[in-house]
Structures are given as C-alpha cells and as structure tokens.
C-alpha cells in the first residue's frame, strides 16, 4: 500500500510538471504591456531642450557686480570662464584681485585665493526664467547665505550670444549681476 501511494504521488508530480512544461512551451512570448504613445521632443526656441542647447559651450565673463545690502556696489574686476555641457553640467571659475576678494568675503561670497569656483549641475525653469545650481560637495538648497548662495536661483536673460545671470533676495532686490559672452 505504501509503495502504491508513493507511485501515485510520483505520478501526480510528473503530471503537474508535464502540464506546466506544456503550458510554457505552448505559449508564444509577447510584449508585457502595450507601447506608450509619445511625441517627438520639442527642440526649438522657448523649449527646455532649446534652452539647454543655447547654454551649451564655453562662456567668458564680461562683467560681474555685487549689490550687498547696506553697502556700496562691488564691481568685480578679473576674469571668468563658465562651461556648460549637453547634460546640464556646469563648471564656473571667476578670478579677481586680493582686495576685491576681501570685500566679497565681507558680504558672504567665500573665495579660495581670489577664486570663486563651482562644479555641478543645473536645473532650468522656463516659466520663472531661472537656473538653479546643484553643486558637487555643497549641501542641498537651504536658507540663503550671501548673494551667491547655491539655494538662490539665477534669473537669466538672453540676447544673441550674451547670457545675463542675476540673483535676488527674498524681497526681489537684485544682489548680483554677471554677464557672460559665448566664447566658443
């Protein structure tokens, strides 16, 4: 009797495996879901792709001014280079003299031997006309500190081959204006 139960059990297992195998072999593969209909990405003027394409390349600083609260405007002499790639990565370096660097540090713009340097990514808001920096090694956006705080969006204006970036305080007062000209 015991042998008969074992034989029946083995036969039942073989039948289950046989049915499963024939079911798998008998079904043709197909897509797991229907394709999602899409449209081509807009790439013209006034589109996110168009803005990214415009920013792409190398830019030279033509002027940089800082407007600290309750203090005189600081016109920053020196030079600067900004590079923006097709993935939204940004590299910027501005060099100035020691005396201007001391004044800038006094209003919350920290420098390393007269150099402001940043590496990171940008996000673009077409409606508000802003760029927001997401910089490597920087804390996430929080309370603004200084005129160039990474948590402050950069308001942009474009004319032919010139890009103007400015920062504003919480009340909308302009804190800085940097003008960049396409160099390549």
The CA-atom distances, in angstroms, between 148 and each of 81, 124, 131, 155 are 16, 17, 13, 12
Nearest to 74 by CA among 42, 46, 106, 52: 106
Output the pLDDT for position 158.
Answer: 87
Cβ atoms of residues 110 and 134 within 8 Å:
no
pLDDT tens figures, 141-160: 555 678 888 778 899 998 88
Structure tokens at 181: 């000209």
Distance CA 128, CA 147 (A): 19
Residue 116 has pLDDT above 80, yes or no: yes
Separation between Cα atoms, residue 118 and residue 126, nearest integer Å: 23
Per-residue pLDDT, 2: 54
- CA 174, CA 40: separation in Å to the nearest integer? 38
Q: Which residues have a Cβ under 8 Å from the Cβ of 174 and sit 6 or more positions away?
A: 67, 166, 167, 168
**Average pLDDT value over all residues in the chain:** 80
More confident residue, 16 or 57: 57
Q: What pLDDT shows up at residue 136? A: 60
CA distances (Å), origin 139, targets 102, 109, 150, 176: 24, 16, 9, 21
Q: What are 10-45's pLDDT values in tens digits?
A: 444 444 455 445 554 555 555 566 666 655 555 556
> What CA–CA distance (Å, rounded) separates 157 from 173?
16
For the chain, which residues make up each domain, given as ranges? 48-182
Question: Torsions phi, psi of 82, nearest 5?
Answer: -130, 135
- At the second CATH level, the architecture of 48-182 is Beta Barrel (2.40)
| CB neighbours of residue 178 within 10 Å | 23
**Percent of the chain scoring above 90 in pLDDT:** 42
Q: What is the pTM of this model?
A: 0.71
The residue among 7 and 50 whose pLDDT is bigger is 50
Q: What is the pLDDT of residues 120-138, one digit of tens each?
A: 888 899 999 998 877 666 5
When mean pLDDT is compared across 27-36, 76-85, 109-118, 130-139, the lowest value belongs to 27-36
Predicted local distance difference test score (pLDDT) of residue 57: 93
For residue 182, the number of C-alpha atoms closer than 13 Å in the C-beta half-sphere is 11
Mean of the pLDDT values across residues 106-113?
89
């Amino acid at each position: 009797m015991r042998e008969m139960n074992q034989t029946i059990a083995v036969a039942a297992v073989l039948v289950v495996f046989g049915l499963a195998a024939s079911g798998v072999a008998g079904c043709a593969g197909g897509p797991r879901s229907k394709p999602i209909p899409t449209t081509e990405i807009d790439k013209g003027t006034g589109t996110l792709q168009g803005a990214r394409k415009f920013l792409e390349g190398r830019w030279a600083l033509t002027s940089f001014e800082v407007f600290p609260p309750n203090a005189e405007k600081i016109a920053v002499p020196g030079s600067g280079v900004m590079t923006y790639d097709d993935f939204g990565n940004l590299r910027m370096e501005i060099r100035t003299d020691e005396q201007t660097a001391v004044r800038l540090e006094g209003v919350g713009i920290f420098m390393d031997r007269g150099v402001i340097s940043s590496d990171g990514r940008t996000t673009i808001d077409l409606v508000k006309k802003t760029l927001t920096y997401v910089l490597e090694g920087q804390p996430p956006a929080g309370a603004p500190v200084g005129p160039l705080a990474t948590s402050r969006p950069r308001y942009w204006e474009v004319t032919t081959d010139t890009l103007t970036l400015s920062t504003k305080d919480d009340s909308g007062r302009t804190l800085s204006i940097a003008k960049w000209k396409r160099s390549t």
